[in-house]
Amino acid sequence: MNPLHLLRCPKCAARLIKSAPRRYETLVEHCTDPNGDFGDPGARPTLQCSWPGCQTHGIGAYWAQDGEGPFVKVFMSGIRWIDGNSGPLESFHRDIKTKVRPTP
């Protein structure tokens, strides 16, 4: 089984499931190619929460297949993420959001 399918929602802990392909820009892409000189990667597979009642659906939250995201404007959403972290449970991106802090 693909371990990426074990990622869980950072709001309700339900499994993240495959969602519609969408266009988004990762942080690495934003930093390395801010003007899009290397081309548009186009729509790519995404993940969303599997529980239809989850608040993340209300703001249209989705994640990249490796858990990066969510790719929505979440700061004003009022969503209270588990442990204040919007990275999916069991993901690398949750881990770095916990351990990497900006310097004061």
8 binds Zn ion (CB under 5 A): no
Span from 36-44, 49-57, 74-82, 90-98 in contact with Zn ion (CB under 5 A): 49-57
Tokens matching residue 44: 């790519």
11 binds Zn ion (CB under 5 A): yes
C-alpha distances in angstroms, 25 versus 10, 32, 33, 54, 60? 20, 11, 10, 24, 16
**Please, which residue, 12 or 22, has the CB nearer to Zn ion?**
12
74 binds Zn ion (CB under 5 A): no
79 binds Zn ion (CB under 5 A): no
Contact criterion met (CB below 8 Å) for 41 and 66:
no
